[in-house]
A = this chain, B = another copy of it.
């Protein structure tokens, strides 16, 4: 029973489970992120800040696949919470430098257990996780 509309069925899509799965996994973060009063977007931004300490909005956007339209309000909120400082670059005033504060650095301690909690929810075999990781980055590379 094959017809030309089969490709339009939701169960034959690859993108739909990708979209749904991403949403559901992000939702799993909520109870843990609530404890440190961060949203998921704020959390991934902090992950980059914990690693880089300082970078500008453009660089942050390239790493996170987000543009200034999304990042500007997120960074303002993180600044309001005291975790980062935003300041125009002295060298090139078009760039906005974002710098991790002491308080931001301290927050890392409270977040360190989160990845393993999420790992438990997702609950994949090591090989599956490795395969998924590889395929996702392949797609990101292809696009």
Q: How large is the interface on A (under 10, 10 to 19, 20 to 34, 35 or more residues)?
A: 35 or more
Name the residue on B nearest A64 (C-beta): B20
**From residue A109, how far is it (CB to closest CB) to chain B in Å?**
9
Contact A135 B132 (CB under 8 A): yes
Note all chain B residues with C-beta closer than 8 A to A7: 112, 115-116
A68 within 8 A of B: no
Interface of A is mostly: helix
Q: What is the count of identical protomers in the complex?
A: 2
Contact B17 A47 (CB under 8 A): no
Contact B121 A17 (CB under 8 A): no
Complex: A72 Cα to B115 Cα, angstroms: 34
Name the residue on B nearest A115 (C-beta): B7
7 closest residue pairs by CB, A with B: A22-B22, A17-B136, A7-B115, A20-B65, A123-B142, A21-B136, A18-B22
